[in-house]
Amino acid sequence: MWYNNILETIGNTPLVKLNRVTKEIKGTVLAKIETTNPGNSIKDRMALKMIEDAEKAGFLKPGGTIIEGTSGNTGMGLAIAAVVKGYKCIFTTTDKQSKEKIDALRAFGAEVIVCPTNVDPEDPRSYYSVSSRLEREVPNAWKANQYDNLSNTQANYEQVGPEIWKQTAGRVTHLVAGVGTGGTLSGAGRFLKEKNPAIKVIGIDPYGSVFKKYKETRIFDKAEIYPYITEGIGEDFLPKNVDFDIIDHFEKVTDKDAALMTREIARKEGIFAGNSSGAVIAGLLQMKERFKEDDLIVVVIHDHGSRYMAKMYNDDWLRERGFLKEERLTAKNILELRERQEIVTIDVGQTVLEAINIIKAHNISQLPVIQQGMVVGKVTESDILENLLDNPALKSSRVEEIMTKPFPFVDLATPVDRISSLISKENFAVMLEDEVGKLEVITQLDIINALSRI
């Protein structure tokens, strides 16, 4: 058996039990893995449905241009369908979206226009307004309008809801997903509630979005709106696809919790999920008191982690935003993890014979050389042996005649990987001063011992 084109592979995504990341949740948690769609996201479903409905209605004609404002995933679904069906694509997106998403859209031949995030939807610079202007200006153009196009909700009603009902044999008790356009929860949720009105439909909303307060008060509060990092969910307006009567509850999740949980899903479940999926699991854990042992909770894994490599899966990006605690081993940690040691030194004016006697007496292999309280060099067993083999009389000479460059100096905050890179055949230790100015030496053995204890 084969498929006639890639569009026929959309849907029928697997349902996978989560085990470690949701261990605090009573009941069973199943993940709907939408990353197996050809565009690696749930948006493939509604993108194709919107195009097919537009074709039937005569809005999208042969050789036409598809216009859309997108955070990336809907654009990907539209672009794939456009390739198969012979349409052009022009997409507008915001400057907060990952570079991987934008590059992926361009890989399918789409034109992508990046617009500022921190402007009102009505602002002519917003990605909503720019896409609407392009629809007016580009000949034979059709704007998909995923936020208000109810084909979005219908696709999820016809596909996602029935799939979940069948895969759980009707046992599903909760459906949890992020809310952006609203189509997933409104469509799948409506189908499931028609089957069983007791099923709870829960939306995950980032701080900075308006959904939660509007659900609870029916007040659209612009004071709730501010920029946020979490991608693909939340909005600063009310899309027609968000059915607040279907969605029972909205749970707010911070950018930090969403970003860090995104990584945890990969590390604990082996599921390479995107940022909004991290928000969903973080929100689920916040609501753990809601669930009972016999509950069967379905969460949606909206898109693939490959679109967030430069963001949520990048340690430097997370550190810059204060999301990732610095946990690397440092020189200070190494000193704290070992027993206190007295560092033996030798003055630059002492003799090589005195250096030999100090090394033997203390059973050590190297000596920092001091001049007026400053480290000016080092002398090692190898230095002594090599020089005495050439000239035995050197044992009565001043140690400065055979000393070599001092060990590299580091500070207490120097990470272990930097310390390790400084240790070599010529420098088998590094030096530093502790918090009270006392001289300390860190060797390769100190690093190994520290690593074995953490």
pLDDT tens digits along 438-451: 888 888 888 888 88
Judge if 269 and 367 occupy the same domain.
no
- Map residue 15 onto helix, strand or coil: strand
State yes or no: pLDDT of 91 exceeds 70.
Answer: yes
Q: How far apart, in whole angstroms, are the C-alpha atoms of residue 26 and residue 28?
A: 7
Quick one: pLDDT at residue 212? 96
CB distance 13 to 273 below 8 Å: no
Q: How far apart, in whole angstroms, are the C-alpha atoms of residue 434 and residue 409?
A: 12
List the catalytic residue out of 32, 43, 212, 215: 43
Which tokens go with 259?
């970003």
Judge if 238 and 385 occupy the same domain.
no
Judge if 358 and 431 occupy the same domain.
yes
Q: How far apart, in whole angstroms, are the C-alpha atoms of residue 209 and residue 339?
A: 53
Q: Which of 326, 343, 358 is the C-terminal boundary of a domain?
A: 326
**3-17, 37-51, 100-114, 291-305: the lowest-pLDDT one:** 100-114
State yes or no: pLDDT of 436 exceeds 70.
Answer: yes
Q: In what order do the strands lie in the sheet with 366-371?
A: 346-347, 366-371, 374-380
| pLDDT band with cut points at 50, 70 and 90 for residue 136 | very high
- Map residue 300 onto helix, strand or coil: strand
Q: By residue range, what is the domain housing residue 225?
A: 1-326
Residues linked to residue 97 through DSSP beta bridges, in sequence order:
none
Judge if 241 and 370 occupy the same domain.
no
Average pLDDT over residues 206-223: 95
43 is catalytic: yes
Q: How many domains does the chain have?
A: 2
Average pLDDT over residues 80-91: 96
Judge if 373 and 309 occupy the same domain.
no
Judge if 30 and 51 occupy the same domain.
yes
Residue of 447, 441, 446 whose CA lies nearest to 366: 441
Q: What is the CATH number of the domain that holds 345?
A: 3.10.580.10
Residue of 375, 355, 350 whose CA lies nearest to 431: 375
Judge if 287 and 418 occupy the same domain.
no
Half-sphere exposure of 161 (CA within 13 A, CB side): 23
Quick one: pLDDT at residue 326? 59
Q: In what order do the strands lie in the sheet with 141-143?
A: 111-115, 88-94, 65-69, 141-143
Judge if 194 and 134 occupy the same domain.
yes
Quick one: pLDDT at residue 340? 76
Q: Locate tokens 């409905």: which residue?
A: 53
Q: What is the CATH number of the domain that holds 289?
A: 3.40.50.1100
pLDDT tens digits along 245-259: 999 999 999 999 999
Q: How far apart, in whole angstroms, are the C-alpha atoms of residue 319 and residue 84?
A: 41
pLDDT tens digits along 381-432: 888 888 888 888 888 899 888 888 888 889 988 888 888 888 887 777 888 8
Q: Which of 276, 299, 326 is the C-terminal boundary of a domain?
A: 326
Question: DSSP labels for 152-212?
Answer: HHHHHHHTHHHHHHHHTTT---EEEEE-SSSHHHHHHHHHHHHH-TT-EEEEEEEBTBSHH
State yes or no: pLDDT of 343 exceeds 90.
Answer: no
Average pLDDT over residues 325-350: 83
pLDDT tens digits along 153-201: 999 999 999 999 999 999 999 999 999 999 999 999 999 999 999 999 9
Quick one: pLDDT at residue 43? 97
Q: Which of 326, 361, 384 is the C-terminal boundary of a domain?
A: 326
State yes or no: pLDDT of 454 exceeds 80.
Answer: no
Which tokens go with 103?
């590059």
Q: How far is CA 21 from the centre of its chain?
A: 15
State yes or no: pLDDT of 338 exceeds 90.
Answer: no
pLDDT tens digits along 319-336: 888 898 756 788 888 888
Q: What is the CA radius of gyration of the chain?
A: 31
Number of C-beta neighbours around residue 344 at 10 A: 14
Q: CA angle 361-379-427, nearest 5°?
A: 115
Average pLDDT over residues 271-289: 97
The dihedral built from the CA positions of residue 414, 415, 418 and 424, taken in this order, carries a sign that is: positive
Judge if 124 and 224 occupy the same domain.
yes
Q: What percent of the chain has a predicted confidence (pLDDT) above 90?
A: 63
Quick one: pLDDT at residue 438? 82
Q: Locate tokens 């989560």: which residue?
A: 18
Quick one: pLDDT at residue 217? 96
Number of C-beta neighbours around residue 194 at 10 A: 12
CB distance 263 to 231 below 8 Å: no
Number of C-beta neighbours around residue 340 at 10 A: 8
Residue of 449, 399, 96 whose CA lies nearest to 259: 96
Average pLDDT over residues 46-68: 97
Quick one: pLDDT at residue 246? 98
Q: How far apart, in whole angstroms, are the C-alpha atoms of residue 277 and residue 297?
A: 14
Judge if 160 and 280 occupy the same domain.
yes
Judge if 299 and 427 occupy the same domain.
no
Judge if 316 and 374 occupy the same domain.
no
Cβ neighbours of residue 33 closer than 8 Å, sequence gap 6 or more: 13, 14, 15, 16, 271, 301
